[in-house]
Amino acid sequence: MHRHRVRPNRSEYFSSRESIRPPRRKAIDRIIGIDGEGIGRSPHIYTLLAAADEDANEWVARNPSGLSTVQCLDLILSLPNRSLVFGYAFQYDLTKILADLPDDSLYLLYHEKFRANVKGNRVLYAPVLWEGYRINYINRRFTVSRGPKTVTVWDIFRFFNTKFTTALADWKVGTDESRLEIGGMKDRRSVFDTVNQGAIERYCVAECVHLAHLGRSLLSAHSDAGIPLSSYYGAGSTASVMLRNLGVADKRGEIPGAMLRPIACAFFGGRFENSIIGSVPGPVYSYDISSAYPYHATGLPCLEHGKWTKARRPSSLDVDRASLALCHWSASSFDVNGSWGSYPVRSVDGTIVFPLSGRGGWTWREEFISGQQLAPSVVCDVAWLYHTDCGCNPFASLATVYRERIRIGKEGKGIALKLGMNSVYGKLAQSQGINPPFQSWVWAGNITSGCRSQLLDAIALSNDPWDVLMLATDSITCRNPLKMPRPRKTGTDDLLKPLGGWEEKIYRRGIFAVRPGIYFPLQPTEEEISEVRARGFGRKTLYDQWRQVVDAFNARKPSIQITGMTRFVGAKSALTRGSKSPPKRNSAYGEWVSHFIDVSFAPQPKRQSVGPNNRLEPWKYLDWESVPYDPAMQSPESILLSAAQQIAEEQPNVDLDEAETST
């Protein structure tokens, strides 16, 4: 090993250690992890950027007064050619790395739609030019060029969606001791200004080495599973390879122009809704569908070898005989004591609710039929019917993939298969780009609609639908046990957990329901943190303050403010632009600030009001037609969730649970 200077004319704070005369390498023979560290909280100074490969060859830029953008970019450009460079939750690092860029350049970098150029069927994104560098950032892929040299850093966090040390443990990267050492140093990041800088550098390099090994495990698992990666955006990259192998792009067929609006009207995501708020004594029973979206994908027909026809006042037999059916529904009457609406209705601001009845909307057949159990007055006045006799069944082999994943278990290859299966829906529903290669609103809409239909069938099994407490995409929670039906046959019905089957979990003491997607076991213990659900913010944050939540609710307060946290302000969150003013970063850019979250106890928008016994009364009748989905449309609730997700992904340790909390 030896040390030599890198671009000494740029900075005296660079160094690298690399084996003498390394062998010539293929593009992915050398994997490099990259990570940086800062000290202090106000101000927060980015003092170290390091990279290392699996053999512990390292490249380091350091400056106790704070690294400049030039120093950071030159360190990245000093990495060897024909290397694959991975970051992990790299948005924190990029915020500090790019701090010297002017505000308008930063804004363009993080809002790529303003840099988009359409050429044929491709969208090309112009790089931001600064000080002789060409800088690009698209969907967590960061690229920097200077002269003939180009280096790309792929942020692979979305393959794992968990903190770094958890990913290392799940993928068996490193030793227990090395992971504990990394975790121990992570816990001290808020006081790094008091830690020996040599120790910080050794820790940072060790993280990079482990990250390189994690990247190698990721690639090897995909290759072993027969789905080798060619891009590294996250689980969507896995799904792209899997869908390409299935050949589904050629099975999407042609859709009649008159169907486009009904298809958009029928497109909805997962259903999150509560029928109660507050304490529910146990036992409480929760049921989850095994791989719900892949299960519903396996039943989708080929769309290439069939025909769509429009039918007015179709009979039940007409709808049943079709391979697919898109039904326009309306319901004029309702049960005044009803607890659950059947069908989603979207308002002009994007808010989605499930009324007991309404003027109408569009939904796919399975959801329409299942909803009749709760809304007997519903009628289908128009339907688009699809008929095909071909036996293509483009997604049927996902059942074989599922069986193989169950056989392997939670090993690398098994995780890769799970990633691909669970991300198939996302690729079918992809809205970014021109003519996404696998996009099909018909298939995507049927998957989510089919999942909602399973929830409706489960509600109908309860003796009293009010006993059903919560719905959350692929799960249902209720006061009493339900005898769930077996899923349709997919070739996995002999398994203990067949594809599309229900798994039961029991909360013996009960639960406290706050809002859709936010609840926790009654009197939770530290061992039950994993059972806490905090949609939009961290589960540990909710666990730490559950008593305050309960007290505020019992005191009939309209909401509670979850406090005591700090968060890192990333570049995208810090940049704003007015309708007539240029982009501007706020003073908290790249700093740590106090953070709070307002949690409302109000039933709206999902439900209309709070009734007796803390029941949440559903909307009775909506006098408007459900409007079509628009990718640009975001409801107030989804805007808040998107903002919370953005904030979480900007944190050095992924989410606010891992950010500094005050005592």
DSSP string, 390-449: ----TTTTHHHHHHHHHHH-SSHHHHHHHHHHHHHHHHHT--SSSS-TT--HHHHHHHHH
Residue 423, classified by CB atoms within 10 Å of its CB into exposed (0-12), middle (13-18) or buried (19+), is buried
Residue 70 pLDDT: 98
Instruction: Look at residue 278 and tell me if it is in a domain.
Output: yes
Q: How far apart are CA 556 and CA 542, in angstroms?
A: 19
User: What ranges in 462-591 are assigned the alpha helix state H?
Assistant: 539-544, 546-554, 571-574
Instruction: Please tell me whether residues 642 and 521 are part of one structural domain.
Output: yes
Instruction: Look at residue 222 and tell me if it is in a domain.
Output: no
Q: How far apart are CA 386 and CA 365, in angstroms?
A: 11
Which residue type does 385 have?
L
The CA-CA-CA angle for residues 540, 545, 546, to 5°, reads: 95
Dihedral angle, C-alpha 149, 150, 151, 155, nearest 10 °: 170
Calculate the alpha carbon distances from 213 to 29, 48, 368, 423, 607 in Å: 12, 21, 49, 24, 48
Q: Which domain holds residue 595?
A: 517-605+633-663
Instruction: Look at residue 378 and tell me if it is in a domain.
Output: yes
- Which of 491, 516, 541 marks a domain boundary? 516
Instruction: Look at residue 226 and tell me if it is in a domain.
Output: no
Predicted confidence band at 16 (pLDDT cuts at 50, 70, 90)?
Answer: low
Q: Decide if pLDDT at 405 tops 60.
A: yes
Q: How far apart are CA 493 and CA 472, in angstroms?
A: 24
Residue 112, classified by CB atoms within 10 Å of its CB into exposed (0-12), middle (13-18) or buried (19+), is middle
Beta-carbon count within 10 A of 608 CB: 16
Instruction: Please tell me whether residues 350 and 442 are part of one structural domain.
Output: yes
Asked whether the beta carbons of 222 and 414 are under 8 A apart, the reply is no
Predicted confidence band at 412 (pLDDT cuts at 50, 70, 90)?
Answer: confident
- Which of 516, 536, 554 marks a domain boundary? 516
Q: List the structure tokens of 537.
A: 């913010």
Instruction: Please tell me whether residues 443 and 521 are part of one structural domain.
Output: no
* Region 264-280 average pLDDT: 97
Q: How far apart are CA 234 and CA 113, in angstroms?
A: 20
Q: Is residue 586 classed as helix, strand or coil in its secondary structure?
A: coil
Q: How far apart are CA 514 and CA 533, in angstroms?
A: 10
Number of domains making up the chain: 3
Beta-strand ranges (E) seen in 63-127 are 83-87, 116-119, 122-125
Q: How far apart are CA 362 and CA 324, in angstroms?
A: 13
Instruction: Look at residue 624 and tell me if it is in a domain.
Output: no
- Terminal-residue alpha carbon distance, the chain: 45
* pLDDT, mean over the chain: 91
Quick: pLDDT tens for 105-147: 999 999 998 999 888 778 889 999 999 999 999 999 999 999 9
In residues, how long is the chain? Answer: 663
Instruction: Please tell me whether residues 508 and 522 are part of one structural domain.
Output: no
* Region 320-336 average pLDDT: 93
Q: What is the pTM of this model?
A: 0.91
Asked whether the beta carbons of 157 and 88 are under 8 A apart, the reply is yes
Instruction: Please tell me whether residues 454 and 487 are part of one structural domain.
Output: yes
Which of 19-28, 308-317, 619-628, 644-653 is least confident?
Answer: 19-28
Instruction: Please tell me whether residues 539 and 470 are part of one structural domain.
Output: no
Q: Decide if pLDDT at 342 tops 60.
A: yes
Predicted confidence band at 263 (pLDDT cuts at 50, 70, 90)?
Answer: very high
Asked whether the beta carbons of 303 and 492 are under 8 A apart, the reply is no
Instruction: Please tell me whether residues 70 and 51 are part of one structural domain.
Output: yes
Instruction: Please tell me whether residues 189 and 292 are part of one structural domain.
Output: no
Residue 18 pLDDT: 46
Q: How far apart are CA 241 and CA 245, in angstroms?
A: 6
Quick: pLDDT tens for 178-225: 999 999 999 898 899 898 999 999 999 999 999 999 999 999 999 999
Instruction: Please tell me whether residues 37 and 18 are part of one structural domain.
Output: yes
Under 8 Å CB-to-CB from 524, ≥6 apart: which residues?
531, 532, 543, 546
* Region 153-158 average pLDDT: 96
Instruction: Please tell me whether residues 470 and 581 are part of one structural domain.
Output: no
CA pseudo-torsion sign 83, 89, 91, 95: negative
Residue 68 pLDDT: 98
CATH of the domain at 13: 3.30.420
Residue 5 pLDDT: 32
Q: Decide if pLDDT at 15 tops 70.
A: no
Residue 24 pLDDT: 41
Residue 23 pLDDT: 39
- Which of 516, 550, 574 marks a domain boundary? 516
DSSP-assigned beta bridge partners for residue 59: 16, 51
Q: Is residue 224 classed as helix, strand or coil in its secondary structure?
A: helix
Q: How far apart are CA 85 and CA 209, in angstroms?
A: 12
Instruction: Please tell me whether residues 504 and 575 are part of one structural domain.
Output: no
Instruction: Look at residue 131 and tell me if it is in a domain.
Output: yes
Percent of the chain with pLDDT over 90: 79
Instruction: Look at residue 482 and tell me if it is in a domain.
Output: yes
Instruction: Look at residue 256 and tell me if it is in a domain.
Output: yes
Maximum alpha-carbon separation in the chain: 81
Instruction: Please tell me whether residues 255 and 126 are part of one structural domain.
Output: no
